[in-house]
């Protein structure tokens, strides 16, 4: 807005040139605009020049340095309050010379500044082109992606099975035969689950193909129900961990059920008819499922262990932290053009989101890698949470937002992230030199994550590549855009590493590092086995 000026009446003295060009008060300006709506611009300038004003030079300079272009459009002209041309009044086309000083953080981005926007206008600018468009959408899409991963993690937690059958080379200090049995039972359980889903799909197809009351459909539905009951019986067998003699008894009962279903299908083949021709595809699918279930019954795992997936709350914390960080970043880049004070407040939430993501990223890694060492696990999780809270405190201090404190901000976040090196070093010296574990596979993703963060921060700090060609990367490809994409990609790499930790513990719990636990136990008796 316009700076308020002190007005004095001095008709006897000539008006200085500087005073003639000085901005006038807001109410006076609006009155002039309303009274001269039908006049051309030359008349308006003449009236301004005739207005006797004396304005303090320092106040005028400060006002012009910190304000945006005029918040309204004069009639029939795209001119601001100084009479200087601006390429547009709203969103994405004003040059760096037209933008207020507080809005310009990168001197090599020469255009695309949103000037004169308020909250509603800034919201609309999400769908417009400016130098924050890529920053907004890169993290907005990241919010949607990690929200979908939260839903997927929740579904796997309540499906009754693990994430996947682990590879054979994950077998470490545990009994090899037992681990192989667990792997086979896991794969067998997943096949039963797929059969169950396929049978439900066949029922939907039958409903679409034939009308109610069709004898053929009712018969096939009965067969489908029998096969579905078989899958439920098999799943119940795995979850209850029955003894061998009970397995044999259940196997005989299920074989009789399948034999009855097979006789029904054979009778339908002999009968034929129009209804049968319409559902021949579904009949063949049922016959195929019947054959698969026979194989599953024949090779039922002996003495399988109940499926008890480990807790998922560390994954929920990490994914929620990613959503919070990316959401705060999206909001900050959307509304950072509203005003200087509002922008300072928004950037505080941006720094808060960064700290939340760093702390949340440690939870799945520490919880699952130290799953069988609860002493170390609780110590590391408590320490990283406390340090994260201490890092958040300076982000809400106004002085922390100044440009000269940018190195301090970066140092705090880097120090917080480096705390993760201590548990990694401990894993190197106490895990990998004993037996190979899935920690090595997860470590590759962690290295990719670290490289993405460091490389992106380096480009952002050095303002590469826009410093090589100022103005060429205003809308696409500047260092801030690249940094945003690398943040999303690195966070996804950490998600992949966390999935490896989770799959490992889902299938092996503490048996996978049995020898490791023994070594820790005999070395110092500091951490005993968990009792639950």
* Binding-site annotation: residue ranges for Zn(2+): 333, 480, 484
What is the spatial distance between Cα 185 and Cα 191, in angstroms, rounded to a whole number? 10
- DSSP string across 433-469: TTS--HHHHHHHHHHHHHHHHHHHHHHHHHTTTTTTS
Q: Which residues are annotated as a binding site?
A: 333, 480, 484
Non-local (6+) Cβ contacts of 456 within 8 A are 482, 483, 486, 487, 490
**Helical residues (DSSP H) of 128-214, grouped into ranges:** 133-157, 176-209
| Beta-bridge partner residues of 379 | none
| Beta-bridge partner residues of 113 | 94
What is the spatial distance between Cα 9 and Cα 15, in angstroms, rounded to a whole number? 11
Non-local (6+) Cβ contacts of 271 within 8 A are none
Cβ burial of 320 (10 Å; 0-12, 13-18, 19+) is middle
Non-local (6+) Cβ contacts of 363 within 8 A are 314, 317, 318, 381
Place of tokens 């990168």: 106
Contact 357, 324 (CB under 8 A): yes
Sign for the pseudo-dihedral over CA of 320, 321, 322, 328: positive
CB atoms within 10 A of CB 397: 10
| Beta-bridge partner residues of 94 | 113
Contact 446, 424 (CB under 8 A): yes
**Helical residues (DSSP H) of 336-373, grouped into ranges:** 340-369
Tokens at 478, concatenated: 């500047």
Q: What is the three-class DSSP state of 85? A: strand
Exposure string over 506-525, b if 16+ CB within 10 A, otherwise e: bbbbebbbbebbeebeeeee
**Helical residues (DSSP H) of 4-77, grouped into ranges:** 17-21, 26-35, 41-50, 57-66
* Closest listed residue to residue 515, CA positions, set 421, 425, 436: 436
């Amino acid at each position: 807005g316009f700076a308020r000026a002190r007005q004095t009446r001095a008709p006897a003295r000539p008006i200085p040139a500087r005073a003639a060009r000085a901005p006038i008060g807001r109410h006076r300006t609006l009155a002039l605009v309303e009274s001269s709506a039908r006049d051309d611009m030359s008349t308006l300038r003449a009236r301004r020049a005739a207005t006797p004003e004396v304005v303090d030079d320092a106040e005028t300079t400060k006002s012009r340095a910190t304000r945006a272009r005029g918040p309204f459009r004069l009639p029939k002209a795209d001119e601001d309050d100084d009479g200087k041309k601006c390429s547009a009044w709203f969103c994405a086309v004003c040059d760096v010379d037209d933008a207020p000083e507080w809005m310009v953080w990168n001197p090599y981005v020469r255009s695309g500044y949103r000037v004169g926007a308020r909250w509603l206008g800034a919201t609309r600018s999400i769908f417009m082109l400016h130098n924050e468009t890529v920053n907004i959408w890169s993290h907005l899409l990241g919010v949607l992606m990690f929200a979908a991963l939260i839903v997927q993690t929740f579904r796997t937690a309540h499906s009754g099975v693990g994430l996947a059958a682990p590879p054979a080379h994950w077998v470490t200090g545990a009994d090899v035969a037992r681990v192989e049995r667990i792997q086979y039972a896991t794969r067998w359980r997943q096949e039963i689950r797929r059969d169950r889903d396929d049978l439900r799909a066949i029922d939907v197809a039958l409903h679409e193909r034939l009308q109610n009351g069709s004898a053929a459909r009712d018969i096939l539905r009965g067969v489908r129900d029998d096969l579905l009951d078989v899958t439920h019986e098999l799943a119940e067998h795995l979850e209850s961990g029955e003894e061998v003699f009970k397995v044999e008894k259940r196997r005989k009962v299920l074989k009789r059920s399948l034999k009855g279903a097979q006789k029904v299908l054979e009778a339908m083949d002999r009968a034929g008819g129009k209804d049968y021709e319409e559902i021949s595809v579904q009949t063949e699918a049922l016959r195929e499922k019947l054959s698969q279930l026979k194989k599953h019954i024949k090779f039922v795992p002996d003495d399988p262990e109940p499926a008890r997936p480990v807790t998922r709350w560390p994954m929920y914390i990490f994914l929620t932290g990613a959503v919070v960080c990316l959401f705060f970043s999206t909001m900050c880049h959307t509304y950072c053009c509203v005003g200087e004070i509002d922008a300072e407040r928004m950037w505080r939430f941006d720094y808060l989101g960064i700290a939340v993501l760093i702390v949340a990223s440690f939870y799945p890694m520490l919880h699952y890698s130290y799953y069988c060492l609860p002493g170390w696990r609780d110590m590391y999780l408590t320490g990283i949470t406390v340090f994260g809270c201490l890092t958040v405190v300076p982000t809400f201090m106004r002085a922390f937002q100044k440009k000269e404190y940018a190195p301090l901000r970066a140092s705090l976040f880097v120090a917080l992230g480096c705390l993760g090196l201590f548990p990694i070093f401990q894993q190197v010296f106490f895990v990998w030199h004993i037996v190979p574990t899935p920690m090595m596979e997860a470590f590759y993703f962690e290295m990719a994550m670290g490289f993405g963060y460091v490389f992106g921060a380096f480009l952002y700090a050095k303002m590469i590549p826009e410093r090589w060609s100022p103005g060429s990367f205003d809308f696409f490809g500047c260092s801030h855009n690249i940094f945003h994409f690398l943040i999303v990609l690195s966070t996804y790499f950490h998600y992949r590493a966390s999935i490896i930790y989770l799959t490992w513990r889902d299938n092996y719990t503490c048996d996978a590092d049995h020898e490791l636990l023994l070594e820790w136990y005999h070395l110092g008796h500091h951490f005993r086995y968990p009792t639950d």
